[in-house]
Amino acid sequence: MSYLNRPIFIFSCLVLFLSTNIVYAQTILDSLDNTSVQPVYKYNAKQLNQKGGVVSTLALQQGSLINSKAQLQYRGLSPRYNAVYIDGILAPSTETSTKAFSFNGLPSGFVNSVNVYTNGTAGITGEFTGAAVDIHTKAKVDKNFTTLSVNLGFLPYTTGQDFYKPQNYGGQQTSLEQA
């Protein structure tokens, strides 16, 4: 009688372990789906125009910062640690002293989509530590066009009043002070 109970007990333990392993396998598969090597950020032309262009869109990403030269700093790293591709070709540096790309010279009207990769992927070479920005331009222009863009700004600490200017402004004396 004791021999019959043992195999049943061992069999029930094996079933319990197998079901536990299946749960772990499903958890692993779920985590692989969440950490896939797809681009973290994808923007099409409509989204870029709604957010104010390429520079404004890149500035809104988590972990990114646009410096005064319109260069992307990602993960707190210098702009030289990013790679920029235009239509699949590595873009040259726009700076003479460092390997950095300025997004100011890129008109948003010519951009079809922007993909930002923050981890490795097969289509992008491993020349980046921060992020790889893959910019796809529009294939062709259907007709001639002219674009007019107007931007308005406001400085919160301005009063609109005249400011005090001393008579010897800039170190030069006026003719009244010389007499």
- The pLDDT, as a whole number, for residue 172 is 58
Each residue's pLDDT tens digit, 90-100:
898 888 888 88
Query: Contact at 8 Å (CB) between 115 and 48?
Result: no
**132: nearest Cα among 143, 144, 121, 147:** 121
Query: Contact at 8 Å (CB) between 119 and 37?
Result: yes
pLDDT at 44 over 70: yes
Query: Contact at 8 Å (CB) between 104 and 129?
Result: no
Query: Contact at 8 Å (CB) between 114 and 61?
Result: no
Each residue's pLDDT tens digit, 45-54:
888 888 888 8
- Could you tell me which residue, 151 or 24, shows the higher pLDDT? 151
Highest mean pLDDT among 74-83, 136-145, 154-163: 74-83
In the predicted model, what is the mean pLDDT of residues 22-42? 58
Residues 6+ positions from 19 with CB-CB distance below 8 Å: none
